[in-house]
Amino acid sequence: MPIRPAMIGALTIVLGALVVLVLDIHTAWHTPSHLRRTISEYGLGAQQWVFSIGVVLLAFGSALTLASAIRYRLTRPGAAASIFLTLWTVGLIAVVAVPKQDWSNDASLSLGGTIHRLGAAVAFVSIPVAVFAFSRPWLRDTVWAVRARVTMGLSALSVVTLMPIVYALAVGATGSRPWYRVVTLGYVERVLVVAEVIALISLALWVWAAERRSLTSKATRELRASQRV
């Protein structure tokens, strides 16, 4: 049986998302106020290992999805889709490798805190762009038009969910109120992450479908070749 990296990538992304989702639901069930905090707060507590596993699975699945998309010619290595999906993956790794700064112990932003914040920002911004860039060339394709349109629609939804953070940054830059107090960041971030991961899953399922189509086509060619012998 041939190795199917696109299938593994899609299932790994779903598994990683479920790990973080179950962690969040379990924590919110016991402490509802925790939802007001950012998801990366888990990197500072006893559940750090669970959070890290979930995020690493997302990053690994994303990398496999990208490699498979290039293999099945849904995108090219130097295309915007590939670049931004790579940035998403690198951003996720940075979030895990450098935990969120513990503001209760240090009131000034450290180098590690800066790297973590930058990694999260790169990841949040990159995935909608990556999914949009993947979808756009295939909108009129006879085979992939429906998947491309659905996936692009989900990328547009993730952009909409990003707008409250953009608004908060704008208010923070023009006024005296800190941007992270303009909105309840934990709530906004969770809505954003759910929208972005759903868009990513749609993309991964698309690449998996391309893999199945390629393997079926290969099997058909081999069968016809054997019948001619």
- pLDDT bracket for residue 84 (50, 70, 90): very high
User: Could you tell me which residue, 188 or 215, shows the higher pLDDT?
Assistant: 188
Task: Give the pLDDT mean for 79-85.
Answer: 97
Give the per-residue pLDDT at 107.
52
CA pair distance 36, 189, nearest whole angstrom: 9
Residue 228 has pLDDT above 90, yes or no: no
Give the per-residue pLDDT at 169.
86
Residue 164 has pLDDT above 70, yes or no: yes
- pLDDT bracket for residue 110 (50, 70, 90): low
Residue 106 has pLDDT above 90, yes or no: no
pLDDT digits (tens, 9 = 90+) for 18-73: 999 999 999 989 888 888 888 888 877 778 899 999 999 999 999 999 999 999 99
What burial letters (b/e) apply to 68-81, b meaning 16+ CB within 10 Å? Answer: bbbebebbeeebeb
- pLDDT bracket for residue 218 (50, 70, 90): low
* CB neighbourhood size of 29 (10 A): 9
* CB neighbourhood size of 205 (10 A): 19
List, in order, residues 6 or more apart from 219 with CB less than 8 Å away.
none
CA pair distance 31, 51, nearest whole angstrom: 17
List, in order, residues 6 or more apart from 226 with CB less than 8 Å away.
none
Give the per-residue pLDDT at 124.
92
Task: Give the pLDDT mean for 89-114.
Answer: 74
- pLDDT bracket for residue 109 (50, 70, 90): low
Residue 221 has pLDDT above 60, yes or no: no
